[in-house]
């Protein structure tokens, strides 16, 4: 299953952006982007909306994946 972080990474790479470039556009540190992409940290709904704008992907796609992640975490 595709995770929120994987989708963020794929969208970033599709747009030929580095983690540093994305971090600057998002106004966060590069390490924060790295944590989101690796799944170490889960972005808030507000952050997902920023990713949606910066990467030009539907927020609903990311939010749906976040809901799936949250649901599967609860089951464990």
pLDDT at 49: 94
The pLDDT of residue 1 is: 45
CB atoms within 10 A of CB 68: 14
The enclosing H or E element of 53 equals: helix 45-55
- What are the structural domains, with CATH classification, of the chain? 4-75 (1.10.260.40)
pTM for the model stands at: 0.81
Task: Answer whether 10's CB lies under 8 Å from 3's CB.
Answer: no
- Report the candidate in 31, 61, 36 with the shortest Cα–Cα distance to residue 47: 36
Greater confidence (45 vs 2) lies with: 45
Residue with the larger pLDDT of the pair 4 and 1: 4
Contact 21, 75 (CB under 8 A): no
The tens digit of pLDDT for each residue in 9-68 reads 999 999 999 999 999 999 999 999 999 999 999 999 899 999 999 999 999 988 877 765
């Amino acid at each position: 299953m595709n995770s929120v972080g994987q989708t963020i990474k794929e969208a970033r790479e599709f747009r030929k952006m580095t983690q540093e470039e994305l971090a600057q556009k998002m106004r966060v540190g590069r390490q924060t982007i790295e944590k989101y992409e690796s799944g170490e940290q889960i972005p808030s709904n507000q952050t997902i909306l920023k990713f949606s704008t910066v990467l030009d992907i539907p927020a609903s796609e990311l939010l749906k994946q976040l809901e799936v992640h949250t649901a599967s975490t609860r089951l464990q």
